[in-house]
Chains A and B, each alone.
Chain A
Amino acid sequence: MTEDDLVDVDIRNEEPDWDKTTLRTDSELSDHLLTVHAHRLKAGQPDTELQSLSHLDEEQVKLLEHQVDAAHNALFEINGKALLADEVGLGKTIEVGMILKEMHYRGTDDAVLILTPAQLAQQWQGEMLEKFGLNFTCNYDDEFDRFGTHDYVIASIDTAKSDRHRAAVLSKDWDVLVLDEAHYVKNEDTDRYGLIDQLSYTYAFFLTATPIQNDVTDLYNIVSLLRPGLFGTRDAFHNYFVESGQDALVNRDELQRRLSEVMIRNRRAETDIDFTPRNVTTRTFDPSPAERELYHAVTDYVQEAYSEDQGQKLVLMTLQKEVVSSPEALGLTVERQLDTDEDGHHVHADQLNGILNKVEAIDTPTKLNSLRRITDEARQRVEKGRVIVFTQFRATQRALLNMLDDEGYTTHPFHGGLSSDEKEEIVERFENEGGVLVSTDAMNEGRNLQFCNVMVNYDLPWNPMKVEQRIGRIHRIGQKREVYVFNLALNDTIEEYVLERLYHKIDLFQQSVGELSEILTRLEQSGRNFRDEVFDRLVSADSEVELENDFDEMAVDLQEQRELADQLNDFNNGVFEGFDLGAADD
């Protein structure tokens, strides 16, 4: 039996439902035409416009034409099982947000599961809520219980496949499955692939800019998860589409035809995305002798305390970040450390008290003077003197606000302790009155501050995603002016290492949106995490030279990840060159 014989076709000529006597009962033409019309409407699709679009807040999300087209195509042309494979930075997350919003509007999303790499889960959660008003529980939330008890879940794929959760994830019938960075499930022999293969879902949207990682079999694997049988058997796919002995594609027209049934890929060159230039200035300063002394005291303490008790990692990490942020932030944490000890005497009380003394010895932090120069210049040269200053710590925020208030600036504090309405009012006031907005990283994704074009990173998070998010508040689609980003750091400190050796190595400040997540996800796949890598190097180095070498080593690794990510993008662009897989024109 040949393959052609596998599927029989039975054509049934059915009789009409009408009674032949109708022939002789002359019906009114108008009634007949209504019957014809009714049949045509009955066979018609319910309106395939994206009905939820008008319910989106344009302040929160600016939709681009290719994104709307992709969402429409994925829902109505591809019938809800799509591989969204836009080139990096074109907004695949936005496309999925629109799809989910539309499904929510139409009531077809009773249970939705979004699986992402661990480092991106919370970012997804924030974007879905802020931009689309979709409230998901994340597996990192305190209120997260089990997969079975929540209907809208964002989770890291590795959590979902873990022994603890796997059964619950598989036992639920999901209406929608979203899989971010889908190329990480390309390998059919892995637990991840097995999980997706066994999941029960009705609609699925897989996201990746690089569906092909090693060879074109990756494409077969991903597509077969979404549409089993689209490419036939693995052998049939290889025989027909892959040039024998090489990794090149043949029969490209047929491949394009089949791929277009499941895959949407927009190219940057064909979209109307246009970012204004971004100017990044990094200002490093020699710390004052008192600052240097304080920094060494804290670093010594952190190294020593960590070698004794690794359970304190988070607190120690905070101290190490605060020492380069502000004496106020550091002092507060140290005091809390001394206060919270149960038996009234901290093991390192002497060291901590010594640190407090050194905190008090600092008069005006060096960075504060530098910030003043930037805000002064902005007051003279920028519309309404608008500047946004980011810091990680509330105590630093208060110190900055005090200084700026004393200097006569109009200031606006923005932090996570404010209600949504208060946040809204503050942003509005900042727009109208100008001056300086001092914000913690509670400023979320959806917040649109493109009316401002000057930003200062007073201190730097050890998480490049957060830096990208900060810049993204002002440098986004719709920003019409050049954007100025100032980074402040003290020489010979952890901040300088992170900034100069790591962030600049991966070109963090000049990357297009989306490239970073690829690099970080690659890092995560090799079992590492940016923040921990930084901290571990800091606490384990025995000397200044060793520390520098360690950071250089990490920089080389990051650069390698970046180059690999770039190579993959180039490779995928080459493979799909000439393919028209953009969203359909309506």
Chain B
Amino acid sequence: MTDAALPVTEQAVSEFVTDYFDSLDATIHKEGRRWEVSIPKDANTELSLDETVVQLVTHPEEADNDAVALTPGSDLFEQIVDDAVTHAPIGSLALTGDDVNFDDPDYVVGESTEVTNQQFTPYYDRHALCVLFDVGIETVSEYQCEMLKIGAVDLADYESRPQLAQTYLKYLEQTSTRPSEGNHRLTDGELTEAIAACREMVRVEIDSNIEDIREKATRAASVEIEEYRQYLQQRRDELRAEKQQLSEQIDELSTAIDTASERTDRLKRLRERKQFRDELADLRDELDGVRDSLNQGMPQRRAEIQDRHALTVRIRPVTATIVTHERGELDVSVRTDDCSATLTCDYAVGIGTLSRPTCDQCGTELDAQNPVEISPLKTTGRQCCGQ
């Protein structure tokens, strides 16, 4: 599934901002790349522009002193987008046969065969829900990402409709035709259930992304654990050496105490021995701790690392569009040099062909590998029953 995000080009910014200002009934006087904009006080927006000069520039520093820069990364553009995302998250549109271009079917192949006409006859409407989801995969390491994904389901059976989702996205990018308003409405329960179905579709789609990031995070965590293990092993060896050294010093002191002739000398060495014994006890404690940690697989550090590298996947619906689309039959007129025929198949606007025409002779479906052949009496598949 492709990401539903759009590249933020200068042209995209210019077009979107113009449309958005229009939607707010703002007045815009354009002089080249300098626009003077005023938004009515009562407009439903947090934006406040009053005879403000907005200037389209490539880099914010290039804007004139009296103008506010508008670029893909400018503050103004971010404010406008943040304002717009809250406005109308739910809507309804209708796709009809008039809204789509019918591609030539793949079963028409070769220079001598051509499609002369395609006629769609709608029989009834179906309703689907297209939902955009903001997906975030978060981890403290660098392998995090944000995506905008789309899911679409049929509202009758909650079956996924990936093709409709793609058509919906493409359709919204067309500037030549504006879709018409749909009139289908949903109850809270229907909406919740449909969103859940769309969410599941998205979740399945992002599984490979999650697994990929999880693998990377796992490798990074393993390296950290291994480095810590090596550190502990090194520390254990150092502590052993220090312990050995201290024990030897204590032994030497004990001998010295036993053989000391002066009391002051003996007391001094006794104090030293006590201090060394305390240090030795500390060393033993630390060494035991290091050994235990190593033997038990460093549970505390492992938990910390595990916690730090854990992935949180957020899936949040941000818009929902009820898409009413027509279903019916598509008649495809095909002609060769000396004969013609019409093939009929079930068709859904936005989804495409629901069934394929078949060979009159054997019933095999026609497709790119088994293209149509026309004779005066019948249409057959070239591969299955071709001459």
Interface-located stretch among B80-88, B120-128, B339-347, B350-358: B80-88
Residues of A within 8 A of B59 (CB): 51, 105
- Nearest B residue to A12 via CB reads B314
Q: B338 on the interface (CB 8 Å rule)? A: no
B199, A13: Cβ atoms closer than 8 Å: yes
Interface-located stretch among B8-16, B96-104, B239-247: B8-16
- Nearest A residue to B89 via CB reads A18
CA distance A35 to B93 in the complex (A): 14
Interface-located stretch among B152-160, B274-282, B304-312, B368-376: B304-312
CB-contact partner of B6 in A6, A24, A44, A105, under 8 A: A44
Residues of B within 8 A of A46 (CB): 8, 72-73
Given A39-B318, A45-B5, A230-B219, the answer on whether A29 and B188 have CB atoms closer than 8 Å is no
Residues of A within 8 A of B23 (CB): 30-31, 34
B172, A37: Cβ atoms closer than 8 Å: yes
A45, B85: Cβ atoms closer than 8 Å: no
Interface-located stretch among B28-36, B46-54, B220-228, B248-256: B220-228
CB-contact partner of B8 in A10, A15, A18, A45, under 8 A: A45
CB-contact partner of B311 in A9, A41, A224, under 8 A: A9
Contact residues of B between 110 and 136, Cβ < 8 Å to A:
132, 134
B146, A43: Cβ atoms closer than 8 Å: yes
Q: A149 on the interface (CB 8 Å rule)? A: no
B93, A29: Cβ atoms closer than 8 Å: yes
Interface-located stretch among B178-186, B328-336, B359-367: B178-186
Contact residues of A between 23 and 52, Cβ < 8 Å to B:
23-24, 27-48, 51
A16, B203: Cβ atoms closer than 8 Å: no
CA distance A228 to B222 in the complex (A): 10
CA distance A12 to B3 in the complex (A): 20
- Nearest A residue to B60 via CB reads A107
CB-contact partner of B315 in A13, A29, A31, A41, under 8 A: A13
CB-contact partner of A236 in B91, B214, B222, under 8 A: B222
Most buried by A among B72, B141, B146, B179: B72
Q: A342 on the interface (CB 8 Å rule)? A: no
Q: B286 on the interface (CB 8 Å rule)? A: no
Given A1-B302, A6-B221, A10-B311, the answer on whether A20 and B12 have CB atoms closer than 8 Å is no
Q: B210 on the interface (CB 8 Å rule)? A: yes
A23, B85: Cβ atoms closer than 8 Å: no
Q: A8 on the interface (CB 8 Å rule)? A: yes
- Nearest CB on A from B187, distance (A): 8
Q: B27 on the interface (CB 8 Å rule)? A: no
Contact residues of A between 41 and 92, Cβ < 8 Å to B:
41-48, 51, 79
Residues of B within 8 A of A1 (CB): 297, 302
B218, A6: Cβ atoms closer than 8 Å: yes
Q: Interface residues of A, CB < 8 Å — how many?
A: 55
B305, A6: Cβ atoms closer than 8 Å: yes
Residues of B within 8 A of A23 (CB): 90, 185-186, 188, 191
CB-contact partner of A29 in B181, B221, B224, under 8 A: B181
- Nearest A residue to B178 via CB reads A30
B84, A12: Cβ atoms closer than 8 Å: no
CA distance A39 to B89 in the complex (A): 10
CB-contact partner of B85 in A20, A35, A105, under 8 A: A35
Residues of A within 8 A of B148 (CB): 39-40, 43
B185, A12: Cβ atoms closer than 8 Å: no
Q: A544 on the interface (CB 8 Å rule)? A: no
Residues of A within 8 A of B188 (CB): 20, 23
- Nearest A residue to B299 via CB reads A1
CA distance A20 to B188 in the complex (A): 7
CB-contact partner of A36 in B20, B172, B210, B302, under 8 A: B172
Q: B319 on the interface (CB 8 Å rule)? A: yes
Q: A4 on the interface (CB 8 Å rule)? A: yes
B223, A29: Cβ atoms closer than 8 Å: no
- Nearest CB on A from B104, distance (A): 28
CA distance A27 to B172 in the complex (A): 17
Q: B92 on the interface (CB 8 Å rule)? A: yes
A40, B6: Cβ atoms closer than 8 Å: yes
Q: A540 on the interface (CB 8 Å rule)? A: no
Q: Mark A443-477, 1 if CB is under 8 A from B, else 0.
A: 00000000000000000000000000000000000
Interchain Cβ contacts under 8 Å between A and B, 16 examples: A8-B310, A9-B214, A11-B203, A12-B312, A29-B93, A32-B90, A32-B319, A33-B172, A39-B132, A39-B319, A42-B82, A47-B8, A47-B9, A229-B141, A232-B222, A233-B226
Q: What residues make up the interface of B, taking CB atoms closer than 8 Å to A?
A: 3-10, 12-13, 16, 19-20, 23, 58-59, 72-73, 80-82, 84-93, 132, 134, 139, 141-142, 146-148, 172, 178-182, 185-186, 188, 191, 195, 199, 203, 210, 214, 216-226, 297, 302, 305-306, 309-321
